[in-house]
Amino acid sequence: MQNYVRSITGLSDMTWLGNSLADWITALFFGLATFVALLLVRRQIQRRTRKFVGTQLPQGVHFALTLAKRTRMAPLFAASLAVGSKYLELPARAEHLASATIIILVAFQVAIWASVAVRLYLEETAVQRGGRNAQTLVTILRFVANILIWSIVLLLALDNLGIQVKALLTGLGIGGIAVALAVQNVLGDLLASVSIALDRPFEVGDALTLDNGYTGTVEAIGIKSTRLRSVSGEQIVISNSELVKARIRNYGRIDQRRSVHRFSLSYTTPPTALAQVPDMLRRAVDACEDAGFERAHVVANGAVGFELELAFVVVGSDYATYLNAQQEVLLAVAAALAEAGIALASTAPR
């Protein structure tokens, strides 16, 4: 019995890092208790969160539940470590290491929350703004935001581990010049993609004509390049930096297309018949459902006959609709002139 008591007393007298075994057991007990309690709370929140899947919730509630769902084990372990360390008197080096570990774990979780918050904000903004570029905008800005967030976390972790961040940044600044020169095209394309996402000069589905002769419909806007589908079917891949420098004709932003036609009537046309032609042209345009009359006039005495000019508009950006309306109007004009016995001028000068 005395030997047993001596062994227990010997265990109680054992110390490590200046703390007795009893202190370590106490710290471990409260640390584990804190961890288990937080784990149960986290599990309960996540279980209740699943009940709201598919339910329309206020934006603030949805935001809070999403953040709770994305809470990892790291902050739970950090809180447990902080509670347990309160029952110990650690040397300065060990205490610094424990504090650094807690800060890094918390920073890791905060970075996850920040990334989720940025995603939710961008998605909400994209829904409000609408447009076919919404998903592209979210993807590009999330990519840039995540780089910034995790860069800050990395620098914070290095600083708490005792690495001189200022000296490191100075070294990276010097070496970064060479790296930037080596990847300047990639960085240029990345910044150009951000410019396209924010400025929105075109969207997915818009028909574009570039000053370099390329013509196509936008299929996708990526971080490095934009893809067009040409009229003949092949895919055209253009770097974003080249695209933002080009002059672009965006036919997807057309509200209406104007069609102007000039033609000549024979000088043998009687003045009374000639005076009726503008009204005939107006009726031909009015008969077309997709066309809107703008003007029709005798504008000049040409080399081969009386010059007439007809202008009308076709609402919408669809090119096939525009061609169909133009064809319908021109056929109606030809039929009206033929019915009235008015001939078009010969191409040969009189």
**Tell me: the pLDDT tens digits for 93-136?**
766 677 777 788 888 888 888 888 888 877 777 666 665 566 66
User: Considering the domain boundaries, does residue 116 fall inside one?
Assistant: yes
**Token pair recorded at residue 180:** 């930037």
Mark whether 222 and 98 lie in a shared domain.
Answer: no
Residue 306: predicted pLDDT: 92
In 3D space, the residue among 148, 156, 166, 165 whose CA is nearest the CA of residue 104 turns out to be 156
User: Considering the domain boundaries, does residue 87 fall inside one?
Assistant: yes
Domain count for the chain, please give it.
3
User: Considering the domain boundaries, does residue 188 fall inside one?
Assistant: no
Task: Please list the ranges in the chain whose pLDDT falls under 50.
Answer: 1-9, 11, 349-350
Mark whether 166 and 75 lie in a shared domain.
Answer: yes
Instruction: Specify the long-range contacts of residues 57-60, CB closer than 8 Å, at least 24 apart.
Output: 59/124
**Token pair recorded at residue 268:** 């043998």
Mark whether 214 and 73 lie in a shared domain.
Answer: no
How many angstroms separate the CA atoms of 101 and 204, rounded?
46
303 to each of 276, 300, 343, 346, how far by Cα in Å?
Answer: 22, 10, 16, 10
Q: What is the DSSP letter of 344?
A: B
How many angstroms separate the CA atoms of 109 and 101, rounded?
13
In the chain, which ranges are continuous DSSP H helix? 2-13, 21-50, 59-69, 73-85, 92-129, 134-160, 165-182, 184-199, 240-245, 271-286, 319-339
User: Considering the domain boundaries, does residue 138 fall inside one?
Assistant: yes
How many angstroms separate the CA atoms of 266 and 344, rounded?
5
Residue 165: predicted pLDDT: 64
Residue 6: predicted pLDDT: 45
Q: What is the CATH number of the domain that holds 315?
A: 3.30.70.100
Neighbours of 303 (CB within 10 A): 12
Residue 7: predicted pLDDT: 45
**By residue range, what is the domain housing residue 19?**
2-179
